[in-house]
Structure 1
């Protein structure tokens, strides 16, 4: 009897260890608060948990693990397993994906932004670029064209942006500089204070961020059609952590990406964009619309020179820059 009880006890103990061994918890570093920009990560966590009966969970933190500008560094050392960041925060660390932030590319929908981003992420040179940080690209965070919420006298023409201090990262900053503005790169969590204190007079954001980070609480006008471009903000995972997953857990994660992105795009289009117009109206924010002739001149001044400079700079780094640029523009032209 004692032998039988001993065997039963050992079996139960072994089962407990096995169950514990099967459980997997990843830490995910985001920032700000839950908003449209993070809904695909939230959905991914839900799908992964459902598919694994709770054995694999994504523990999402909004700012508790790292600064947003340091998320790629955190991934590289394994401080957490998954993170979101924006390419423009540190262009030198991820030069290959900054092709997606060039001004006036002409992307006209979140669906197209998703398709082009995933194609770029699949390119061997891009994968090698991010591998330097032990990072594997999983999915983009497709965003619409950026526009400016500003304070003070509303611009009547693009010439009024001369000397205008604006928060604008990546290619958007390059574009704004082409019309005489003074772009400043800062993380999203810093912009409200910068706008309130007068460090900047305007902020370039997608609609969800203008609402989430409070620029419309201070802003007095909004450009409806400047549309200089957007930013590219991928979700990445630590490569060692990904490789360490069981086949079932890896499939639960990677096999849920498409559904998570479908959910994200539907949420952004139906929720955020429907709220944007009423949010402006409630606050009496003036809409500023520029004539097409001025916008055409803006594009001509910014797009070609920025693209050529990007190709030259990144070819010198050893990247197939022309090939990456042609991949992006070729897909847009289809």
Structure 2
């Protein structure tokens, strides 16, 4: 009898150990603080936990694991299993997805940004590009068109951007350069200090980032309709870690992406944009609106040359650049 009890206890202990061994924890490298930009990752963690009854956990870290410009490097060596980064931070490391940062692509909604990003992420050349970093693209962080907040005298015409130092990355930086501004590439967490110290006079961001990183606290003006483009900031996972997941855990993760993105877009549209207008009014920030003629001239000056230069450069790197550019335009045409 005692031997039977001992055997039963041993079996139960083994089962308990096996259950414990099946539990999986992933570390996720983000930056800044929880905000609209990270709501899909927060929702993803919540859904994965629910679907696996706590057996698969995403531990979200805001800056504790890596600098934002080094997140892709961290993924490549398995320092953490999931991370968010922006293509414009290191375009040489992820040239294929910089097609999504070209200026004046014509994206007007977060839903469009989501659809065109996912289409590009699924392209074999893009997947091969990110595979160099042992990274699998999971989902985008759809952002609205960027506009500029600045200090000092407000620009009254596009010509007034001549010589203005402005934080702008990717295609937005190219667009600003075309009107005589001096684009500066820096991570979001560096921008407020750079503005306060006079290193830059203006910053290009989506509304949530202007609020989250404090650029509106000392600003005098912002542009309402410049809309030169946006940045592409994917969430990626370490490919080895993804392949090591059980079928149940992998299904829980991949099957939660759409719901996480739905939540993100709803949150951004209903909460972030609702807070943006009042935040500007409370601080007395002047709204600068350019004429339709100036915006059309700006687009004509920037869009064509930028896309042609991108296609030429990326083709020389061996990427199917024209094909990727055509894919973006095709998807946007279908969603209009």
Is the structural similarity TM-score above 0.5?
Answer: yes
Residue in structure 2 matched with residue 208 of structure 1 by the alignment: 208
Deviation at 1:100, TM superposition (A): 0.2
Are 2:308 and 1:308 aligned?
yes
1:199 and 1:301 map into 2 onto residues whose CA distance is 27
2:311 and 2:218 map into 1 onto residues whose CA distance is 38
For each residue in 1:93-141, what CA deviation from the matched residue of structure 2 results, as whole angstroms up to 9, or x when unmatched?
0000000000000001000000000000000000000000000000000
Aligned residue-pair number: 334
Cα RMSD over matched residues? Answer: 0.6
Structure 1 stretches of at least 4 aligned residues deviating more than 6 Å after TM superposition = none
Matches within 5 A, 1:129-278: 129-278=129-278
2:11 and 2:319 map into 1 onto residues whose CA distance is 56
Residue in structure 2 matched with residue 81 of structure 1 by the alignment: 81
SS in 1 for 2:17: helix
SS in 1 for 2:32: coil
SS in 2 for 1:226: coil
Q: Which runs of no fewer than 5 residues in structure 1 stay unpaired?
A: none
Deviation at 1:326, TM superposition (A): 0.3
1:154 and 1:331 map into 2 onto residues whose CA distance is 36
2:226 and 2:199 map into 1 onto residues whose CA distance is 22
Deviation at 1:218, TM superposition (A): 1.3
Q: Which runs of no fewer than 5 residues in structure 2 stay unpaired?
A: none
1:191 and 1:325 map into 2 onto residues whose CA distance is 31
SS in 2 for 1:217: coil
For each residue in 1:16-68, what CA deviation from the matched residue of structure 2 results, as whole angstroms up to 9, or x when unmatched?
22111110100000000000000000000000000000000100000000000
For each residue in 1:282-318, what CA deviation from the matched residue of structure 2 results, as whole angstroms up to 9, or x when unmatched?
0000000000111111111111111011000000110
For each residue in 1:151-208, what CA deviation from the matched residue of structure 2 results, as whole angstroms up to 9, or x when unmatched?
0000000000001000000000000000000000000000000000000000000000
Deviation at 1:329, TM superposition (A): 1.1
SS in 1 for 2:222: strand
Please, what TM-score do these two structures have when normalized by structure 2? 0.99
2:257 and 2:154 map into 1 onto residues whose CA distance is 41
